[in-house]
Amino acid sequence: MHSHAIEVKGLRKKFGTQVVLDGIDLTVPSGTVFALLGPNGAGKTTLINILSTLVAPGEGSVKVAGHDVVKESDEVKRSISLTGQFAAVDEMLTATENLRMICRLTGLTAAESRRRTDELLKRFDLTSAANKRVKTYSGGMRRRLDLAISLVASCPVLFLDEPTTGLDTISRRALWEIILELKHQGMTIFLTTQYLEEADELADRIAVIAGGRVVANGTAEELKSRVGGEVLELYGDGDEVLRAVPIDGSVQDVRRTLNELAPLYPQHTRVGIRKPSLDDVFVALTAKPGLTTLSKEAMFK
Ligand SMILES: Nc1ncnc2c1ncn2[C@@H]1O[C@H](COP(=O)(O)OP(=O)(O)OP(=O)(O)O)[C@@H](O)[C@H]1O
Ligand SMILES: [Mg+2]
């Protein structure tokens, strides 16, 4: 396997006159988990679709598993699995029927299809529901089936577009375990997510895209360290956060910050100090001006 599973250089993509990706550079080492974060409409699905050959890149070079997505799209297709943002299962069929159908479509014999289907049902904890129609499944079961379907052929690179959106905490954690297990088997996983906690938990590296560009790229720790040492928060009556300010954590900085803030808030406003979260980074990097109290200037002071 190529040492870089994914290499994107100078990628630009327009839909009509709308520039969606405006010069993206990314590399993902083989055998790692990479998380792409960004607000709605940032171009995450577009990037996944380009990487998985479903959408043509505009300008730039995009290689997956060492192959160019345009000139060698067949090789790329053979190297990847994809679970899209919206499920592609047949609701009227059972999990067994869905899986067997995909197995047959990928060229397995009937006997191989039965064996592979049973294996996947077991791995994704779907055996007991295997013969029920998918339309009766919960969101978590559907998502597990989606993932099972995308793993029918074992390919070195897996794309997951918002794999856990809409799942409860337990189902989400179960999927995280599966994703980490796949990584330990040597797979490269490129996922998009709306959940900072998910990126924090799973990803070796994280990129944030906003306004068509990569606005941050690094490990979760590197990104958090950009917010500074700690975050001082002021809370209102209903425990809502009135204000969040990055501070260096020193007594002097706490005093200076409180001196500035105290006159602006009611008498009994409470205060707390916590470690920065990936949320702080995300908000500071992607929020539109005026929507957030953590300003970009404060982030990079
Ligand atoms: N086929 C298309 N034709 C025209 N515009 C498109 C097309 N696909 C996406 N877009 C536009 O490109 C932008 C990025 O969309 P995309 O779906 O990639 O965002 P996203 O980051 O995946 O958003 P979400 O978090 O909501 O899934 C949006 O403004 C969208 O309307
Ligand atoms: Mg999307």
pLDDT, tens only, 9-58 = 999 999 999 999 999 999 999 999 999 998 889 999 999 999 999 999 99
Q: Which long-range contacts (CB under 8 A, 24 or more apart) does 55-58 make?
A: 55/13, 57/11, 57/12, 57/13, 58/11, 58/12, 58/13, 58/14, 58/21
For ligand 1, which residues put their CB under 6 angstroms from it?
Answer: 15, 20, 38, 40-46, 85
pLDDT at residue number 287 = 64
Summarize pLDDT for 153-170 with one digit per residue, the tens. Answer: 778 999 999 988 877 888
CA–CA separation, 33 vs 164, rounded Å? 15
Confidence of residue 300 (pLDDT cuts 50, 70, 90): very low
Both tokens assigned to 152: 């029918």
Strands 213-218 and 67-68 turn out to be: unpaired
CA of 196 to the centre of ligand 1 (A): 20
Contacts of 191 (CB under 8 A, 6+ apart): 33, 34, 35, 36, 159, 160, 161, 162, 163, 179, 202, 203
Q: Which ligand has its closest atom nearest to the C-alpha of 161?
A: 2
The Cα 109–Cα 34 span in angstroms is: 34
Q: Is the pLDDT of residue 73 over 80?
A: yes
- pLDDT tens-place string over residues 179-198: 998 999 999 999 999 888 89
Q: CB within 5 A of ion ligand 2: which residues?
A: 44-45, 85
Whose Cα sits closest to atom 16 in ligand 1?
A: 43
Q: 0.85 exceeded by the pTM?
A: no
Task: Tell me which H or E stretch contains 214.
Answer: strand 213-218
At 276 the pLDDT is 79
